[in-house]
Structure formats: structure tokens, C-alpha cells
Structure 1
Amino acid sequence: MPRVVSVYFPTLTTDRIRRADPSIPADTPIGVISRSGSKRWLSAIDTPAAKHGLKIGMPASKAQALVQGLAMIDADPVADGLALERLTLWALSQYSPVVAMDNPDGIVMDTEGADHLQGGEELMLSGLVNRFHARGLAAKAAVSSTWGASHALARSLTTRTTVILNGGVEASIARLPIALLRVDSETIQGLRTLGFRSVGDLIKTPRAPLTLRFGPELGRRLDQMLGVVAEPIQPIRPENIIEIHRTFAEPIGATETIAKYISQLVQKLCRQLQRTGMGVRRADLLVHRVDNTFQALRAGTAKPVRDVAWLTKLFKDRIEKIDPGFGIEKLSLAATLVEPLDEKQIISDLVDQQMPDVGPFVDILGNRGVYHLYRMTPVASDVPERSVRRILPLAEETGLTWPLIWPRPIRLLAQPEGIDVIALMPDHPPVSFTWRGKRRKVKQADGPERIFGEWWQRTSEWAAVRDYFTVVDEAGERYWIYRSGDGVNLETGTHRWFLHGTFT
């Protein structure tokens, strides 16, 4: 069953304006003015403007009189459309092979079979919304089994993200207002005149009188929202994308047949990539079924490739996920993310063995849903928690090396944990310490190793000092602990003790 994500940008127009002109103060209300002849009205407002009581549709002169200092900017529907298109193309490259614009203020995408690459639907939605918020774009997102339900939920609920499980659509939309049905305003007004207020009221009403009064569109929208009628998403495609199609005179469905045509599509795609000097990093296979529905498979690679055998294997390994339904009438293979690929000659050397290529292994893990693949690399910093960071598995070497002057623990805690310590100040190691409710007596200790704060990073670290000790308890376990401060001057730290890592 499809899983459809709807992303709603409630203040897309004003967010675009603020991103284009960062000089506008954050507390300055913005009103976007549309014109028709001599008539001028608010077509979009931001959050500060809404707090001042402004509403969309209000005459511009009235809004200007009500709010002093209101920034009034002419509407630019073309710029809004281009901004939404850029966001849609970005979502296509990051989240799903089937992504489309949901004009004028949203994105819709089918994430069936793709959410596991993001750690599940809840993590996928929260990560998606947070990435938009980090870029100054207010966003809400909902996922359900239908486009109509996700569209309505994203625009009605107060939470940033909403996940509706399969089978829960009707219950989730019953109380939603009828204005979210995606029908024209005249139909909405007519329904309100008849006393309809919620989608649930319409679901309980016999369909024939509604169709006779308002036409077939109302019933179609209701059926699409409930999943009775399919609503395919026509995916967006960049202008310069490399995409290969194969249409069948007779629908296909056998696994062997699908595998044969996938191999042919991959060969044609790689020939096109070779002409452009590019390699594929992400390829999408779209399965067009005879019932006008889509299914998509995405294969990603850790580095650009155009190896026919390897790309074919990545898709064939997942053929069992393809549901042909009543038959497949078309297959499309698109290279949605490409990078330059230089040809390299491999020189066989019997003395100096070549390093093994772990790229295929990384590709297999990534396409099976292991989405937290990374490698650790050192960073030029004396502060332990800043001296290491995660990079992509096959990222270029940074050229830095690990410090070997003092030993470092195998396991560094995400955050240093406070401990209770008995120790003689200022330079003696602990006699004992209590961590996570258990008291440990120290048998051996080495230190202190003094680490100074990075004063060029933060003013609070101008005088900061940590004294680290490597200690061994009665059970032979080794720990890395430190005291905040030099043990004498409180300006250097609080003199509290922390456990930062373990050596086992």
C-alpha cells in the first residue's frame, strides 16, 4: 500500500522574502500585496503579522493602518513557484523517487519502500521538517496511505508531524473541516449552507444526492481521500536528467521478465552516462502499472559508478519488492543524482597490493536500510568531544592523524557524565568515585593531563581548564575522568568531576 507524505509550507511566500533579504528584522511583520485593478489586498502574511491581527484577504490600506511598520511587498507568484520547484527537486534527490509539487504551498511524495533509508517514518518526517526549519522555512508534514488525507492533515493539525497508519485514514479525517477537500469555494459554501461542517458528515451522507447537487468532483475527492480511487503522483523531473523508458505492448509481471528489462535499461543508462562523463550516485526505477499507479525503487551508491553489472545487481536484489498488480505497462530508469567520473587505469602490481574496494559493501548495506553508515576522522582540536567527527564511508582522507602523546579511551561518551569523587585537591588523582549509583575504588591512576579551553571559539573558554586522569578500579576497568577547573581558581571551572570515556 502506498505511503504518501504531504509537506505544507504555511508561510512559504514570506519565508522566501526573508531568505532573499536577510536585512529585514525578524520582528518586522511582512504583508504580501496582490493587485487586481485598483484593488489591493493581503495574499500572504508571516507570523508577526498574524500576531498583530492581520488576515489574508484583508484590504492593504486597512492592514497598513492597523500595523505600524508593516513591510508591504508586492506579490511575485513566479518567484514563489520557482522556490517551491527548487524545494521539490531537493526532496527528489534526498527522500523519494516520486515527488511532485502540491501547488501553491506544498510538496507531495510517495515514500513506499523508501522510509527505511531514513530510519522509519517518524524519524523521516521529523528530520525533513527540521531540515526545512534550519533553513528558515516553516513546515509541517503528514504521512498516510492517501494523498488527500495527508494533504488535509498537514494543513489542519497543530503538531509539526503526523503519522497515520494504514487503515486509520477514515478515523483521522472524520473531524477535519470540509474546506480541506480540495474542491472549489462555491462547492464548500454550498455544503456549509446545507449544514455540512466536517468530512465525517459527508462520509455518512448518501453519495447520490451530493453528486446530483454538486457534480462528480466532490465524490471523486472524497474517494481519493479514503483511498477508494487511486490518485497517482506525477513525479517532477529536472530538465537535464538522464532517464530511459521502456513501454510494453502487453503488460508484464513475471520476475524473470522484469529482471531482463531492468538489465537492458541499465545498459542504456550507462551508455548515456559515459557520453557525458558522469557516474550515477542515485538511480530510481519507476514501475508504471496498468491501473495508473506507480511503484518506485531507489538504489544509491557510495561513489559515482557506471558499472552495468553492479547497478543491475542493486536493482535485481530488490525485485521481490515489486508488486506488478494487474501488470506493468512501462518501466523508467532515471539517474537522479550524478557526479563526474574519471576513467582510471588499474595497474597490476605483484609487489604492492591494491587496497580493497569497500564501495560495493557500503552500497549493499545502504540499500538494505543501514542508514547510519559513517567513518570517524580526527579534527584539529584539543577538546576531546571536538577532536573527532563523522564523515561519509568513502570520503577523502583529511590528512590529520590521531594524537599519540596521551592514550585516549576506546569509547567516548556522547556527553560527559557527572560523578562523585573523593580526591585531594588540586593535583592528586581520585581515591574513589561513584558513577551511575556504583562506588568504585581507584587502584591505579595516571595524570593529570591538562587540556585548556579553545578561547578563540567561545569567550566562556578563555580561562577554562580540564585535568584528565586515567584510573583503574578494583575490577581492572579503566576510565577516563576529569575535573573541571585547575582545583584552585573557580574562574577556570566548577571543580566538579566527570567521566568522559572508558577503555573497555
Structure 2
Amino acid sequence: MAQDGPRRVLAAVDRAAWGLGLRPGMSAAEAQSRVAGLVVVEAAPEDDLAGLARLADWCLAYSPLVALDPPLGLWIESAGAAHLHGGEARLLADLCRRLRAGGLAARAAVADTPGAAWAVARLPRAGRIVAPGRQGAVLAELPLWVLRVEAGTVARLHQLGIERVGQLAAQPRAPFRLRFGEGALRRLDQALGHAPEPLAYRAPPETHAVRLAFPEPIGAPETLARVVARLSEALAQDLERRALGGRRFDLVFVRVDGAPQAVSVGTARPSRDPRHLAGLFAERLSLVDPGHGIDEARLAAVRVEPLDARQIAALADDTDPDGMALLVDRLALRLGPGRLFRAAPVESEWPERAVRRVAPLAPATGASWPAGLPRPGRLIDPPEPVVALAAVPDAPPGAFTWRGARRRVVAADGPERVFGEWWRSDAEASAFRDYYRVEDESGARYWLFRDAPAAEGGRWWLHGLGEA
């Protein structure tokens, strides 16, 4: 409940009240006459704004550029940081999932312009991504209110039969401007990307940040690279004094028109190597649009961990423990998150369960594969069925057909019997496999198994290729 001049009105309603026909802006007297025993709570807009600001600070985990859109919205500039989350689609899905897990209903969208994202996010279907350059086609059939045009102007346009964004875009501008003013056309141009829409991005709580301001605007790629190198050196010195290393770094260029350009990079391990940081950002500087020039640059370590000084390797044959981390960071930046992994052993009897993907630099768990049991260089999961012919039951096959090609076996070794894991299911209590390593006439090697004795109708499967 809020005060609107001399009237008391509903500032917001929950889902149950909406279902009863109550709407924001309705007078309190009318609402209470419609619903007997209506429970009303005094609105606290200052507290709501403070809560929205806290949520905006939480969203800094996704991007260094977050702005408030009171009373219910947030802007997140994801262009330079989406790659850290697996792309825009994954970022959007993870953001909505975590908000729902926290008890917040949320709709989100990604588009080239703030206005287009605002409009699409308020459609019934959440999680939409507007393809680059397609905001005009997407907005054309939407109602005028999605442009954030004043309600009075929308009502007047409805009287003239202009109800959709596409109809507004088709109007002659000069007479329209004389009659309705500049507001609706400005919102249209902002949504289509024909006019800028400056946003007041929140300053993140940067405790580890450095900044450079320039007397003249800069924009050349080689100049930006030199700026990044200077910022990286200054930030590395600050982190070294505090015995810290960064895991995520946000670089923000502020253009002369006030529009920020942000780039984010992450590292597999805490780092404060300035050359390494500058190299990572060099891979992403192509995403920066300097416009008419850049007059300020900021670099911040927004996720830090303790990193003590260490002895540099003195001998040529000493292994640098950070060398692999540097390589992982460069490859992850180029290939994307989730593309790099290593195979880690899992204590399991069945081969397809005995390995799992882990992060490249994940610490060892102490588990290992059984010694003395050769395994193929390539495991096929799930195993593929083959047609095999054996001269003697339960012996290695003399030939088998896989993917339409017949292969004659010239050498074989086995069987190696592997039992099912009874604690997983009753079906595995009596299951077993007999594995054979076989070689065909071309020298290619295969790992075959039969899942039951021949007399019981056991079938043959191909589970691996090559030697360990």
C-alpha cells in the first residue's frame, strides 16, 4: 500500500491477489471492497531499492557492469563476460536458476540494446536471446508499452489505432513529433539501437583495483594493449603486497560518450603475473569498441585468494608448477570453459565408470586404476554391439563385424572377467563381462567383451580401440 497524492493505492500485489482481480494502482478502498479481509502491508520503497541494490551487487559475479532499473529490474552488460560462463545461453539459464533457488521469480533476456532486452524479458516466455541485429523484427509485433512509453501517450496512440511497435516505427516522424513529442520516438530509437541509452552502472566494491585516466582519448589496438600492460603491472604489485592472487579480473574502458566497454578473464589458479594477465586480455581486446575514443581504464581483481611468494626455479630442469596453469588459462580463453579437462580415475569395476572428467588442475584424489590391467587408448561409451563368430564357445572370436565391416582376428588375449557392482542394483548382482583384446589382419587392435556365456545367449560388444 502506498500514498499517491490524496489517494491510497496498491503498490504491488501477490499472485493470489492478482487472481482475485486486484492490480497495482487500484485504490485501497476499491480493493478492500472487492476482497473481504484483504491483508495490506505498508510499502517501503527505500527498503525495496536497497534490496535491489544488494541483488545488483550479487550480479557482479556475472559481469562488472550492472545497473539498477527500479523498481523491479536490473541491467547486466554481458558482452565481455559471457564467455566465462559458457556463453550467453548458459549465463542466462544459470542466473535464472539461482534466482529461483533463492525464492525470486525472474524473467531475463539478452539483446543488443537495453530497450530490446527490457521488452523481451517481459514476455511470458523467459530466457529469450535476440540474435544480433534482429531486435527490430522481434519488437515489431509487440505492444507499445514494452518501449517504456508513458501510459498517457500509449492511450492516445491506441485511440488512433497505433498499438504495436511496428506501427509506431512506420509513422512519419515530423508530424508525429509535433503531436506527441519526442519521448516515444526516443524510446523506439533506443530499443532499435539508433540512439544511445546511457546507464548508471554501479561501482563494484573494488578493494583491489587500479585506474588510468588519459588527457587525450585513445583507441588504437596497440595503445590499448600498452594500457593493459601498465594496469596489469600496477595491479600485480598491489596483490603482491597483500600476498594475494586473482582468479577473475575485470577490465573496463570508459569511452568519451560515457559508454563502458568491459572485458573479463578468469584463471585456473590464483595469479598475479602481469605478463600473463596482459596476454589473457590481449586475446579479448578485439571485443572492445573504442567508439570516438577512451578516456579512462580500470582493472580490478574481483575474486582473489591467498598466494604466498614462492622460490623461482633455479635449475634448467626444474619444473615450473605454474607453467601448466598459464597454458590452461590461454587454452580455456580460446576454446571456452568446460572444453578443457583431464581424466581422473574412479574406483569402479566397470571400465566406463572408472573414469570421469575433472578440471585440468584439480588436485589428485589418491585413486588409481588397477596396475597390470591393460586398457585401450580410446574407450567407446556406450559400448557398440558387434556380430562375432567364435570357433569354440566362450573363446575369443575368429572374426567380427562392426559398423558394416568384417574384420578377421589374427591374435587374441583373454578373457578378463569383470563382475557387476551388486550394490548399485539387483540386475548387476549376477552380471559379468568377459573382455578380450584382439588384433585384426591390418594390425588394428580392439577391446571386445561378451556379457554372458554363449550358451546363455551372450552378446558381443566393442568397448575400446587401440592399446593403452
Q: What amino acid maps onto 2:89 in structure 1?
A: L
**Paired residues of 2:313 and 2:319 also in contact (CA < 8 A):** no
Q: What amino acid maps onto 2:111 in structure 1?
A: S
What is the alpha-carbon distance in structure 2 between the residues aligned to residue 376 and residue 463 of structure 1?
Answer: 28
TM superposition shift of 1:152:
1.6
**Paired residues of 2:206 and 2:300 also in contact (CA < 8 A):** no
**Paired residues of 2:100 and 2:106 also in contact (CA < 8 A):** no
Which one of 34, 39, 43 corresponds to residue 13 of structure 2?
A: 43
Q: CA RMSD in A?
A: 4.2
The residue number in structure 1 matching 2:376 is: 409
Which one of 186, 203, 206 corresponds to residue 172 of structure 2?
A: 206
Q: What amino acid maps onto 1:218 in structure 2?
A: A
Distance 1:40-1:107 versus aligned 2 partners, 3 A rule: closer
Which one of 426, 429, 436 corresponds to residue 470 of structure 1?
A: 436
Which one of 442, 464, 467 corresponds to residue 501 of structure 1?
A: 464
**Paired residues of 1:466 and 1:482 also in contact (CA < 8 A):** no
**Paired residues of 1:429 and 1:448 also in contact (CA < 8 A):** no
Distance 1:38-1:393 versus aligned 2 partners, 3 A rule: same
What SS is found at the alignment partner of 2:146?
helix
What SS is found at the alignment partner of 2:370?
coil
The residue number in structure 2 matching 1:284 is: 250
Which one of 307, 310, 329 corresponds to residue 341 of structure 1?
A: 307
Which one of 351, 356, 367 corresponds to residue 384 of structure 1?
A: 351
The residue number in structure 2 matching 1:304 is: 270
Distance 1:267-1:402 versus aligned 2 partners, 3 A rule: same
What is the alpha-carbon distance in structure 1 between the residues aligned to residue 258 and residue 419 of structure 2?
Answer: 64
Answer yes or no: is 1:446 the counterpart of 2:409.
no
The residue number in structure 1 matching 2:28 is: none
| TM-score of the two chains, using structure 1 as the length reference | 0.74
Q: What amino acid maps onto 2:307 in structure 1?
A: L
Answer yes or no: is 1:243 the counterpart of 2:209.
yes
Which one of 209, 218, 241 corresponds to residue 184 of structure 2?
A: 218
Answer yes or no: is 1:129 the counterpart of 2:100.
no
The residue number in structure 2 matching 1:143 is: 110
Segments of 5+ residues of structure 2 without an aligned counterpart are 25-30
What is the alpha-carbon distance in structure 2 between the residues aligned to residue 282 and residue 202 of structure 1?
Answer: 44
Which one of 322, 331, 339 corresponds to residue 365 of structure 1?
A: 331
Report how many residues are paired.
451
Distance 1:303-1:351 versus aligned 2 partners, 3 A rule: closer
Q: What amino acid maps onto 1:502 in structure 2?
A: L
Which one of 151, 174, 182 corresponds to residue 185 of structure 1?
A: 151
What is the alpha-carbon distance in structure 1 between the residues aligned to residue 397 and residue 58 of structure 2?
Answer: 53
What is the alpha-carbon distance in structure 2 between the residues aligned to residue 82 and residue 324 of structure 1?
Answer: 33
Distance 1:441-1:224 versus aligned 2 partners, 3 A rule: same
**Paired residues of 1:470 and 1:481 also in contact (CA < 8 A):** yes
What is the alpha-carbon distance in structure 2 between the residues aligned to residue 176 and residue 229 of structure 1?
Answer: 20
| TM-score of the two chains, using structure 2 as the length reference | 0.79
Distance 1:211-1:350 versus aligned 2 partners, 3 A rule: closer
Deviates more, 1:469-478 or 1:414-423: 414-423
Distance 1:117-1:35 versus aligned 2 partners, 3 A rule: closer
TM superposition shift of 1:199:
0.6
Segments of 5+ residues of structure 1 without an aligned counterpart are 1-33, 66-71
TM superposition shift of 1:227:
0.5
Distance 1:41-1:161 versus aligned 2 partners, 3 A rule: closer
The residue number in structure 2 matching 1:479 is: 446
Q: What amino acid maps onto 1:375 in structure 2?
A: R
Which one of 293, 316, 321 corresponds to residue 259 of structure 2?
A: 293
Where do 1:67-106 residues align within 5 Å?
88-89=56-57, 92-94=60-62, 96-103=63-70
What is the alpha-carbon distance in structure 1 between the residues aligned to residue 33 and residue 122 of structure 2?
Answer: 29
**Paired residues of 1:129 and 1:139 also in contact (CA < 8 A):** no
Distance 1:229-1:378 versus aligned 2 partners, 3 A rule: same
TM superposition shift of 1:425:
11
Which one of 146, 149, 153 corresponds to residue 120 of structure 2?
A: 153
Q: What amino acid maps onto 1:43 in structure 2?
A: V
Identity of aligned pairs, percent?
39
